[in-house]
Structure 1
Amino acid sequence: MTSDKTAYFEDLGDRLVIYNANVANRNAITLELYDVISNALDLATEADRIRSVIFTGAGSFFCAGGDLNRIKTRRFEPLEDRKAHIEILHDIIRRFRSCPKPVIAAVEGGAAGAGVSLAYACDFIVASKEARFTVSYVRVGLTPDGGITHRLMKMLPRPLVNELCLFADPIAAERLYQLGALNQLSEPGEAMSGASAIADRLANSPTSALSRIKDLLNAAEHSTFEEQMHLERDHMAIAVTEDAAVEGITAFFEKRKPDFVKPGDS
């Protein structure tokens, strides 16, 4: 069913699973992957029943980054065309970040180059204990893209980021986990199970609240304290009127578990 595809997604009802399936090339990024991600995120945005999105690599490696066979031909293109190619990746990164549903990366084997950028565009990362992350651009005379320098500088000490970007030294998932830069470690071959467990926890969550909280967390990275308080005020003032809050507060007083999944969700 999927042998001729380099990417596809599955609709599992309360979640979508996006597969990067360019296995013959260690799941290097393809244009088909961009299209599949875009289509999946469109559905996740529109369908209330979908509580989360999982992004993973088929086989034993998450993503090797950009396809150097394509990249090497771009030196002959006009500057604006070269920028446009990079913006395709950047648009996908932005879409992961702005998706109203949490996005979970399940990383087996490792991630390199823009594969690291894609992983860190997600809200949760579950990685195999044996996985390694490599910001590999300098090895081939290139510079990072996909917002990864921003993400790493937000999470890790500058001396370590220098090593990762200037030396392209691989960093083990276990060390990233110790530094608070991964959500979970799994046994090899079990990253998808860990991601599914997170999706299970989100399955009965209120989609409106998830979306608002994700928006607040994204804004907090660049807002001043006053700006953030104003945004929190605005979101809270709307949230209290929504069905999720009515159900959640009612359930609290009735001493029962809230049911945020409506029969008509689609």
Structure 2
Amino acid sequence: MSSSPFLLTWQAGLATLTLNQPARANVLDDACAQALAEATHTLVERARDGRLRALLLTASGPVFCAGGDIQGFVRAGSDLSGALDRGIPPLHELILQLAALPVPVVSALNGPLGGGGIGLALLADIVLAADTAKLRGGYASIGLSPDVGASWALTRLAGPMRAKQILFSPRAFSAQECLAFGLYAEVLPPDQLMSAALALATELAQGATGSFAQIKRLVDGAAQRTLKEQLALEHAGMVRCGASADAAEGVRAFLDKRAPRFKGHAA
């Protein structure tokens, strides 16, 4: 197996980003953050020129991501605060860039996740999880507070009370509990997870990318806008999409009663 902290593979317009330190529970250490930042730059560039049409996030081994490198925290000793101050910005920058991708992002959670792994997993537009994918906040158990967008994602998806329950508690929440909280879209047996996630991501990669980008903009910012503001953005987005070749193809395909053949266009 490759020694890289992650694997980035391509199939047509679909990129699959796989965390690849299974022996270390795919922790988000400094080496992983640096490598992921480079991969994220590639993803952003390919999204801009239309070569990236969907992204699938997953991990090798039985754990999706345990979060931060606790052994590294121990090695930092009395400089823990300084080490965190230096290590967090690169992770936060790549999270911002991944979350802003104008293409559908799917997470396939192959196992437990905690800490910063929560923020990475839940930045996806659609989260599929194995029934082994327990979720544990973990921060308060070692006297720390959330990072990597974990508090934002949990609050946005599950609400303030559930977010605090998860982040205050030392216990792991089951995949079925996370499904009920709205953190996961679907829970599957482990042997069915990757085939389902790959099928979904492949389908999205063949879709109308400009339409998906507009949908992401509308939905992700809806809670911060008034109805009037949202209606104005819906108007502008519909007009912009309506000028695309994909819209013309979609309308023709609907009238012809056939599957559309979208080619994608810039968002």
TM-score where L is the length of structure 2? 0.88
Distance 1:158 1:213, change over 3 A: closer
Q: Percent identity, aligned pairs only?
A: 26
Residue 48 (structure 1) aligns with: 50
Deviation (angstroms), 1:44: 4.1
> CA-to-partner distance for each residue in 1:118-170, whole Å, 9 max, x for gaps?
01111111111121011111111110012222222222254432221112321
Instruction: Specify which structure has the higher proportion of helix.
Output: 2
Task: Answer yes or no: is the 8 Å Cα contact 1:66–1:114 preserved in 2.
Answer: yes
Residue 21 (structure 1) aligns with: 20
After alignment, is 187-196 or 56-65 more displaced? Answer: 187-196
Task: Answer yes or no: is the 8 Å Cα contact 2:73–2:80 preserved in 1.
Answer: no
Say whether residues 1:261 and 2:263 are aligned partners. yes
Residue 206 (structure 1) aligns with: 208
Residue 183 (structure 1) aligns with: 185
Query: What amino acid is aligned across from residue 76 of structure 1 in structure 2?
Result: D
* Alignment partner of 1:251 out of 241, 248, 253: 253
Unaligned runs of 5+ in 2: none
> CA-to-partner distance for each residue in 1:77-104, whole Å, 9 max, x for gaps?
886x854532222212212211011111
> CA-to-partner distance for each residue in 1:142-200, whole Å, 9 max, x for gaps?
10012222222222254432221112321111111133321111112432222112113
Query: What amino acid is aligned across from residue 104 of structure 2 in structure 1?
Result: P
3-state SS of 1:171 partner = coil
Residue 5 (structure 1) aligns with: 4
Structure 2 distance, partners of 1:129, 1:110, is 9
Task: Answer yes or no: is the 8 Å Cα contact 2:47–2:53 preserved in 1.
Answer: no
Task: Answer yes or no: is the 8 Å Cα contact 2:14–2:52 preserved in 1.
Answer: yes
After alignment, is 103-112 or 146-155 more displaced? Answer: 146-155
Distance 1:162 1:78, change over 3 A: closer
Distance 1:153 1:35, change over 3 A: closer
Unaligned runs of 5+ in 1: none
Query: What amino acid is aligned across from residue 250 of structure 2 in structure 1?
Result: G
3-state SS of 2:18 partner = strand
Structure 2 distance, partners of 1:123, 1:35, is 20
After alignment, is 124-133 or 48-57 more displaced? Answer: 48-57
Structure 2 distance, partners of 1:182, 1:84, is 31
Task: Answer yes or no: is the 8 Å Cα contact 1:54–1:103 preserved in 2.
Answer: yes
Deviation (angstroms), 1:49: 4.5
Structure 1 distance, partners of 2:217, 2:249, is 22
Distance 1:43 1:191, change over 3 A: farther
Task: Answer yes or no: is the 8 Å Cα contact 1:8–1:33 preserved in 2.
Answer: no
Distance 1:153 1:31, change over 3 A: closer
Task: Answer yes or no: is the 8 Å Cα contact 1:44–1:53 preserved in 2.
Answer: no
Task: Answer yes or no: is the 8 Å Cα contact 1:128–1:191 preserved in 2.
Answer: yes
Structure 1 distance, partners of 2:144, 2:107, is 25
Deviation (angstroms), 1:31: 2.7
Deviation (angstroms), 1:28: 0.4
Superposition pairs for residues 1-266 of structure 1, below 5 Å?
2-29=1-28, 30-72=32-74, 73=76, 76=79, 82-261=84-263
Distance 1:78 1:169, change over 3 A: closer
3-state SS of 1:182 partner = coil
Deviation (angstroms), 1:40: 4.5
> CA-to-partner distance for each residue in 1:38-86, whole Å, 9 max, x for gaps?
144235413535321111111111011111233442853886x854532
- Number of residue pairs aligned between Structure 1 and Structure 2: 262
TM-score where L is the length of structure 1? 0.89
Structure 2 distance, partners of 1:55, 1:197, is 13
Query: What amino acid is aligned across from residue 151 of structure 2 in structure 1?
Result: T
Query: What amino acid is aligned across from residue 246 of structure 1 in structure 2?
Result: A
